[in-house]
Amino acid sequence: MITSMVMNLAKVLVLLTLSTSLVLAAAPSPRPHPTSGVMRSCEARVNAINMRSSKMVDQAETMLAKFGSIAARAQEFYTSKVVSKGITVASYDALVSDVQTQKSVAEAILNAASSDLANFSCQSGNPKAQLELFRQDMLSTRAALKTYRQSVINLVKGIHAATPDSL
Amino acid sequence: MKPGKIGLTNLLLLALLVLGIITAVLLVQLKTGLLPQASSPRATQGAANRSTKAEDALLKTPAMTTKAALSKGLQDLNGTDVGTVTEGLTENSQDAASF
């Protein structure tokens, strides 16, 4: 009786070991474990890129805010100082409209760049492609900021030209 | 034990085997999704940050009350180097080369 039980137990243990091994072997290969060398190396690079890229986005946002504040102050000046003297700039509405349009364009592209950055990680399918998207969007942001700045310059120049020297 | 007779021990061992397989399958499929505690959706923060920055910039920019102030505004605009916003892209590409 005891011999039979021991034999059965041995058979079951062998079966259990075999079945567990089969299940483990059939399981899909997981992503690199967070503590593995490859993953740690990837995360270190991603962290460095993220820090640098966040600074670039931050700088673009600061520039966007700066141009906006100069445009706003120039408009205040026009309304309170120039118009009150009975002087108007013929193209003022068009200039203001252009500033608003260029601002919206720059903001939209910068949003896209921020979104690219948020999706950039070792877990994303293709981090290199994601980073390339960010690069393209930052290049577009630079171009959009230049255009936005030019539209603010046009507005300030327009007001400046109409402003009497006595002011 | 007589042939063809299933004893209580065999039944218990069979149950143990089934339980072991089920546990193994569940453990293998279990995934851990860990996120750093400080992580946050950066993209959604962008608009809020921008709004705060716009307010800060407006506070920092003094009201224009003279034509000279307009000229200073123009100088400020012309002196802003927009190219600096892409200064880190080359380093990013170098880091990404080994992905």
Give A-chain residues touching B84 at CB under 8 angstroms: 59
Rounded to whole angstroms, the Cα distance separating B35 from A114 reads 19
In this prediction, residue A80 carries a pLDDT of 96
The whole-number average pLDDT for the span A113-136 is: 91
In this prediction, residue B41 carries a pLDDT of 53
In this prediction, residue A85 carries a pLDDT of 93
pTM of the model: 0.70
Choose the mutation target among A7, A22, A66 for the interface with B, i.e. most B CBs under 10 Å. Answer: A66
In this prediction, residue A125 carries a pLDDT of 80
**Are B67 and A57 within 8 A, CB to CB?**
no
In this prediction, residue A30 carries a pLDDT of 47
How far from A50 is each of A161, B33, B34, B46, CA to CA, in Å?
44, 21, 19, 15
Look up tokens 């009497």; give the residue.
A164
In this prediction, residue B83 carries a pLDDT of 96
Higher-confidence residue of A16 and A120: namely: A120
Gyration radius from chain B CA atoms: 34
Query: What is the rounded average pLDDT for all residues in chain A?
Result: 87
Give B-chain residues touching A130 at CB under 8 angstroms: none
Interface confidence: ipTM more than 0.90: no
Q: Which amino acid is at A118?
A: A
In this prediction, residue A96 carries a pLDDT of 98
Reported as a single tens digit per residue, the pLDDT across A48-74 is 999 999 999 999 999 999 999 999 999
Is B94 a residue whose pLDDT tops 70?
A: yes
Rounded to whole angstroms, the Cα distance separating B13 from A149 reads 79
In this prediction, residue A158 carries a pLDDT of 98
Short-list B52, B49, B76, CA closest to A71: B76
Rounded to whole angstroms, the Cα distance separating B70 from A73 reads 9
- Token reading at A146: 């230049």
Work out the pLDDT band at A7, boundaries 50, 70, 90.
Answer: low
In this prediction, residue A63 carries a pLDDT of 96
Give B-chain residues touching A77 at CB under 8 angstroms: 63-65, 69-70
Reported as a single tens digit per residue, the pLDDT across B35-55 is 555 554 555 566 777 888 888
Residue pair A149/B77 in contact (Cβ under 8 Å)? The answer is yes
